[in-house]
Amino acid sequence: MTTRPFKQVDVFTSTPYFGNPLAVVLDGSGLDDAEMQRFAKWTNLSETTFLLPPTEPTADYRVRIFTPGGELPFAGHPTLGSCHAWLQAGGKPKSSSHIVQQCAQGLVPIQREGERLVFAAPPLRRSAPSPTLLAKVAAALGLKAQQIVAAQLLDNGPVWLGLLLDDADTVLALKPDHRMLRELGQKVGVAGIWSTDDSPPLIVRSNREARAFARTEEAPAGIEVRVFAAPVGIEEDPVTGSFNASLAQWLIADGQMPERYVAAQGQTLGRSGRVHVTRDADGQVWVGGSSVTCIDGTVAI
């Protein structure tokens, strides 16, 4: 075993322990696939990353991203959290204007936006899901057909079935059958837009959630998001950058959301994640959030 620098970072929050945790092994050199997978399964977090020297000349570093159940080509909160950890550990970008992350999906530009980091959403491929898949997922979520406003298969590396529901309260009230979702083999993200007539979305719907908000100072949100990924060993993900990226590309393009908004995710898990979305003048969608380091030390792998 080798002692390696390590950080555990909370992503999509400015308050520790209210976002989505990420384990970052800052030097993954010499580890094989099985060793990386074993460590990721042991951390039992939604993702664990391993930083490596880049093989592309324009990249600043390379990252491999593992869930407890397998490797991902790209994921959002590992992108932001890994970059945060790399910079904090003394990483020096080749460019003064941005950082370039290399992952299995390709090169991902990352920029600083005040205290937040933002990544360029990868190109999106989307299509209509089959009626059979949609019906089975709706049954697993306990949804009626009239509660689903729109549905798309969203592929930006990971493939999600995205569902836009009739409102944010419907999203928060879902009680999924995770066994059914695991058997379907389909990762699912759901979203509901907060109406301007509703109570402010930061005034949440249970005592536990109210207590969570009371301890944070996160931004108000225009849309509520939940993500279910039982097929890769994660029943519900606290805050999900890759899904929010593809969701933003879809909903902004279809006129469902404005070109700048904030998404909330994690309330039902006692979290208060905030995902900041912007589409620039060139049509590029940027997805960002704050990160804080909670554990800083070494691991033996």
Residues 6+ apart with CB under 8 A from 140: 176, 177, 180, 181, 184
- Which residue in the list 35, 47, 113, 259 is annotated as catalytic? 47
Q: For this structure, is 209 an active site residue?
A: no
**Paired tokens of 208:** 């536990």
Report residue 46: phi and psi, to 5°.
-60, -35
Nearest-angstrom CA–CA distance, 106 and 88: 23
Nearest-angstrom CA–CA distance, 120 and 280: 10
Nearest-angstrom CA–CA distance, 42 and 89: 24
User: What does R_g of the chain's alpha carbons equal in angstroms?
Assistant: 18
Please spell the DSSP secondary structure of 94-161, one letter per residue. Answer: SSSS-EEEEETTEEEEEEEETTEEEEEPPP-EEEPPPHHHHHHHHHHHT--GGGEEEEEEEESSSEEE
Q: Is 234 helix (H, G, I), strand (E, B) or coil?
A: strand
Please name the amino acid found at residue 128: A
Nearest-angstrom CA–CA distance, 63 and 46: 16
Return the active site residues. 47
